[in-house]
Amino acid sequence: MTEDKIMTDEQYKKLSIDEFTKAAAKYEGNHAGIYEMCKKDYPEILEELEQEPFQDLLDAGCGPAPMISLLAEKYPDRHYTGLDLTPAMIEQAKLKHIPNAVFVVGDCENFPFEENAFDAIICSNSFHHYPNPQAFFNSVKRCLRPGGRLILRDLTSENKLVLWFMDKIELPLANLCGHGDVTPPTKELIAECCKNAGLTVEKLEFRTRMRMHCVVRK
């Protein structure tokens, strides 16, 4: 679907930075608007993480670090890294002073980290903002340790008509309103990107609230 993009990669990224700069201060509040739905994904990510031990975790597209806050409380002996394209989001995350956590401004299509740095990567409701999804999976492959896993959740649909509406109508309208959404993920896109990157899709499910839940292994 990304071949039909209506803007350049940098234009999408600028929209995302502008959008989330405005949203940063209210993102975790009780009046966060459309961002409140993201909170409902946290329990299923936590449940997935509990299936295996981890020591070093990256949250790609971490925002103001709501997931890292929950994880640090539950697993205080682990190490956490949050990455986000929007400086204002990273500023909000740093204000929390979470022990064993570092926060970095950077591009999720080009992780600014060494090879084999993490045994777990999570990405929640951020992937549909990436103009070049293959670059994201290439970064995942490079920075995951052998046997490590990516837990990816995002808004999409298994229904082809709904998917067409999202891709051709809803998200372009969102762009006009100042949102940096690029395209909804599909199982075909995930499968192709993982194959090209040398990753294995272990789980790909369409769950309630139009959520894709995906686990990818290096």
**Mean pLDDT per 10-residue segment, the chain (218 residues):** 70 90 80 66 93 97 94 96 97 95 98 98 94 97 98 91 83 79 90 98 93 96
> Which residue, among 154, 183, 160, 167, has the nearest Cα to 61 in the 3D structure?
154
Listed in sequence order, the residues at least 6 apart from 213 whose beta carbon sits closer than 8 Å to its beta carbon are 44, 48, 152, 153, 203, 204, 205, 206, 207
Q: Identify the CATH number of the domain in which residue 93 sits.
A: 3.40.50.150
- At residue 32, the pLDDT reads 55
Whether the Cβ atoms of residue 59 and residue 81 lie closer than 8 Å to each other? yes
- At residue 25, the pLDDT reads 82
- At residue 1, the pLDDT reads 42
Task: Please tell me the pTM assigned to this model.
Answer: 0.92
First to last CA, the chain: 25
Listed in sequence order, the residues at least 6 apart from 172 whose beta carbon sits closer than 8 Å to its beta carbon are 6
How far, in Å, CA of 12 to CA of 17, rounded? 9
Q: Which domain holds residue 55?
A: 2-217
Domain count, the chain: 1
- At residue 28, the pLDDT reads 77
